[in-house]
Structure 1
Amino acid sequence: MTVNDVFPWRTLPAVQQPEYPDQDALHGVLTELASYPPLVFAGECDQLRDRLAAVARGEAFVLQGGDCAEAFDGVSAEHIRNKLKTLLQMAVVLTYAAKVPVVKIGRIAGQYSKPRSKNVETRDGVTLPVYRGDSVNGFEFTEESRVPDPERLKRMYHASASTLNLVRAFTTGGYADLRQVHAWNQDFVRNSPAGQRYERLAKEIDNALAFMNACGVDPEEFRTVEFYSSHEALLLDYETALTRTDSRTGKLYDVSGHMVWIGERTRQLDHAHVEFARNIRNPIGVKLGPTTSADDALTLIDKLDPEREPGRLTFITRMGAGRIRDVLPGLVEKVTATGAQVAWICDPMHGNTFEATSGHKTRRFDDVLDEVKGFFEVHRALGTHPGGVHMELTGDDVTECIGGGDEVFVDDLHQRYETACDPRLNRSQSLDLAFLVAEMYRSQS
């Protein structure tokens, strides 16, 4: 059996891949990576697939979020704790409002690579390869920094391992206790300019917790949480090196993360990324932009979920606030008519990016919110389940997106613009969004 028999994607076109100048060095790194321990386990991937099956059936909701692109220098306890804290705070609000379990998935421990619209970047007459994420090359605009370096794939593995170690410690060691997380939300409501709007919901949660405490209810689920990792399976060499055969089932799993997704730029039906995803048992996501046709969606289902298994396939729509109400209904109607049970998640970030006069890429909080509203409206009209939200966010007080309750203005963007790629919601904006989505969910149910 040849490597192409095991990994048939190698015979197909693969876009958005780095051009490494030293193929021998790349081969050596990949051989080493293939000997490393798994970052996640097959059983954990199966568990997430079960949780996403509940989402597809309308019995759960997904909160997926994290950095646009992780950075090697962001692997610190403080940075990871702040991001996790924000996601946990959002999840508490959404769980109470939706009255269903919230599946918590981080864009974390593997999101070190980014697809780019151009292969090169020109500044002051100098043209260099574009920055493709810390897993490929450096952000500094120098010839040496921008050369793709396969050694960075090992750094990505070790950074991901460190991150997962911290996440597991935080989620099982008491930090994620529901009562503590709610106390953080109470502080947010008290101090937020928009806090009065959220006070009623926060008080309801407080009363529910007080009642359970009075009854002596103290389940294990209050003290720990399930938290899963995900990233875009962009660099196929890396993903393949971390794909292993499970000894229990004989099936292939990509053990770089619990869930991986195919991006809008790499979902070509006859290309390598779809073929790679077709052959692994992880839950798979696919980003669908405004140009997606119903036939595209149906063919993706045929290729990636031929057995129509709930939890196997998630469609992450990224239409833009101005397009979602026009494009999404046709896709949902056609997919639903086939009987396929996919989970539908809204990514309201990527379709709403623009460049401010200062040159910063940014997003308006109101546009992000409006796309989520459109997502809920479409599903309400069709009688289908709005399965979740997929956010680019951070637990830090950055100034990258405009608006929110504690408003960031265009003139503020330069103050703490820290992302290496796309703009993220800061902690306050993320929690604003969670309370507003909770209101939407309540009005729909």
Structure 2
Amino acid sequence: MNESLTVQGAPAPEVWDLLPAEQQPQWGAHPDLPGVRRALRTAPALTTAEDVRTLRRQLAEVALGRARVLQTGDCAEDIHECGATHTAAKARLLAELADRVALRTGHPVVRIGRMGGQFAKPRSRPTETAGGVDLPVFRGHLVNSPEPNAPARRHDPNRMLQAYEASAAVLRALDGARTDAYGPWASHEALVMDYESPQMRRDPETGDPYLASTHFPWIGERTRQPGLAHVEFLAALANPVGCKIGSSATPEQVVRLCRVLDPGRLPGRLTLILRMGAGTPASAVAPVVEAVQGAGHPVVWLSDPLHGNTVQTATGVKTRRLSDAVAEALTFRKVLEEQGLHPGGLHLETAAADVTECLGGPVTGEHALSERYESLCDPRLNPAQARELIDAVFS
């Protein structure tokens, strides 16, 4: 264990530590877990309260219709690709795509990377079959390894310290690349409570608690239940926070979620990231938007047009169609604008390299997917596909 991350002491658990939490690793009775949590509790903060406040002010501008957001990056970060070269390539693509949005909308764009902590993934099934053997599914480098063998797939809490160190490298690079309040900022899904909860810190100016593992944490469709650990944890933080909303969410559920995460109805506090699927008609999206608007929550509205559109080829390869992503994002824009609201931007899984994981644009058919399919989890847009999507949505 890194000496700088080794400390003693065990404070009383927070409320969310005592609540049920979905999609958590199965550490078992691993003897290292208490020490890892103690180490994370007093590790240097990866973000500052001042930066968190700055991002929240910028997102307030988006909520008020004066700016946009572009959030891009890997589905699951590779812990071995967190050096300066890889991070710079991702930040360059984010900046290029944000400039493209700015050119087409006339608004400044807040740049947020899915990086610096995107090492844990919720999964729909706990196991998968590889080579005829049932194995625990890969849940991101924070939990286990992608290699298809039993030792690699074992859940190991020591990997949280590796994820912390990798995140620190990415955050340092992003800090060096940030020239103004528009970014680049870091974000990740706040999924593994044993990693996130110990990294709560206090703002030295206000005394408010904030999550120091990232600037912008979000929770997903599988962990957005009020009264459970993830929602109660985010509710306690001063960070701007996000929540994915899928097609199964009812207007009443979303309004209840807004009441918990944005009780003060403050612009910039809460971002709702719609991931409805291209097959969800505008008539099904509109009631959710209407309900939130009617409840008086000035949220940032983002479209995630990829997560609801994952399909499998006949040979079992996961992919997404660019045409589906465009259709969903256009429906999102139409619904928001018809209600006089501001389509805040896009949340996209992208690769900085010319991968061949999604269909459309330069990837002309399923035969091409195998040419450069490198994702650790779900398929990502390559740069050309991301440009085409932005051009179609903001034309």
Find the counterpart in structure 2 of residue 74 from structure 1: 81
Q: Higher relative contact order by CA 8 Å / sep ≥ 6: 1 or 2? A: 1
C-alpha contact 2:91 2:184 (8 A) present in aligned 1:
no
Find the counterpart in structure 2 of residue 12 from structure 1: 19
Under a length normalisation based on structure 1, what TM-score does the superposition of the two structures give? Answer: 0.84
Which amino acid letter does the alignment assign opposite residue 344 of structure 2? Answer: G
Residue in structure 1 matching 2:121, options 114, 121, 141: 114
Provide the C-alpha distance between the structure 1 equivalents of 2:253 and 2:103, rounded to a whole number of angstroms.
Answer: 36
Q: Specify the structure having the higher radius of gyration (Cα).
A: 1
1:163-221 Cα offsets, whole Å, 9 max, x none, are 1222233344xxxxxxxxxxxxxxxxxxxxxxxxxxxxxxxxxxxxxxxxxxxxxxxx6
Q: Please report how far the alpha carbon of residue 76 of structure 1 lies from its aligned counterpart in structure 2 after TM superposition.
A: 3.0
1:149 aligns with 2:156: yes
Find the counterpart in structure 1 of residue 390 from structure 2: 434
* Aligned pairs for 1:25-424 within 5 A: 25-172=32-179, 226-404=183-361, 406-424=362-380
C-alpha contact 2:323 2:360 (8 A) present in aligned 1:
yes
Which amino acid letter does the alignment assign opposite residue 148 of structure 2? Answer: F
C-alpha contact 1:401 1:408 (8 A) present in aligned 2:
no
C-alpha contact 2:218 2:243 (8 A) present in aligned 1:
yes
Which amino acid letter does the alignment assign opposite residue 382 of structure 2? Answer: N
SS at the partner of 1:109? Answer: coil
Which amino acid letter does the alignment assign opposite residue 131 of structure 1? Answer: F
C-alpha contact 1:86 1:431 (8 A) present in aligned 2:
no
Q: Percent identity?
A: 43
Which is richer in helix? 1
SS at the partner of 2:311? Answer: strand
SS at the partner of 2:71? Answer: strand
1:8-55 Cα offsets, whole Å, 9 max, x none, are 011211110101134430110111111211111011111111111111
C-alpha contact 2:185 2:215 (8 A) present in aligned 1:
yes
Q: Please report how far the alpha carbon of residue 151 of structure 1 lies from its aligned counterpart in structure 2 after TM superposition.
A: 1.2
C-alpha contact 1:113 1:132 (8 A) present in aligned 2:
yes
Count of residues in Structure 1 that have an aligned counterpart in Structure 2: 386
Provide the C-alpha distance between the structure 2 equivalents of 1:394 and 1:239, rounded to a whole number of angstroms.
Answer: 25
Q: Which stretches of structure 1, 4 residues or more, deviate above 4 A after TM superposition? A: none
C-alpha contact 1:139 1:146 (8 A) present in aligned 2:
yes
Q: Which moved more, 1:430-439 or 1:409-418?
A: 430-439
C-alpha contact 1:136 1:153 (8 A) present in aligned 2:
yes
Q: Please report how far the alpha carbon of residue 260 of structure 1 lies from its aligned counterpart in structure 2 after TM superposition.
A: 0.3
1:107-152 Cα offsets, whole Å, 9 max, x none, are 0100000000111122344222111000000101111111111111
Provide the C-alpha distance between the structure 2 equivalents of 1:324 and 1:79, rounded to a whole number of angstroms.
Answer: 38
SS at the partner of 1:412? Answer: helix
SS at the partner of 2:394? Answer: helix
SS at the partner of 2:97? Answer: helix
Structure 1: gaps (5+ residues): 173-220, 440-445
Provide the C-alpha distance between the structure 2 equivalents of 1:326 and 1:78, rounded to a whole number of angstroms.
Answer: 45
SS at the partner of 1:391? Answer: strand
1:337-379 Cα offsets, whole Å, 9 max, x none, are 1221011100001000000123210000111111111111111
SS at the partner of 2:351? Answer: coil
Which amino acid letter does the alignment assign opposite residue 206 of structure 2? Answer: T
Q: Please report how far the alpha carbon of residue 2 of structure 1 lies from its aligned counterpart in structure 2 after TM superposition.
A: 6.3
Provide the C-alpha distance between the structure 2 equivalents of 1:23 and 1:278, rounded to a whole number of angstroms.
Answer: 29
Q: Indicate the RMSD between aligned Cα atoms, in angstroms.
A: 1.5
Provide the C-alpha distance between the structure 1 equivalents of 2:297 and 2:171, rounded to a whole number of angstroms.
Answer: 33
Find the counterpart in structure 1 of residue 4 from structure 2: none
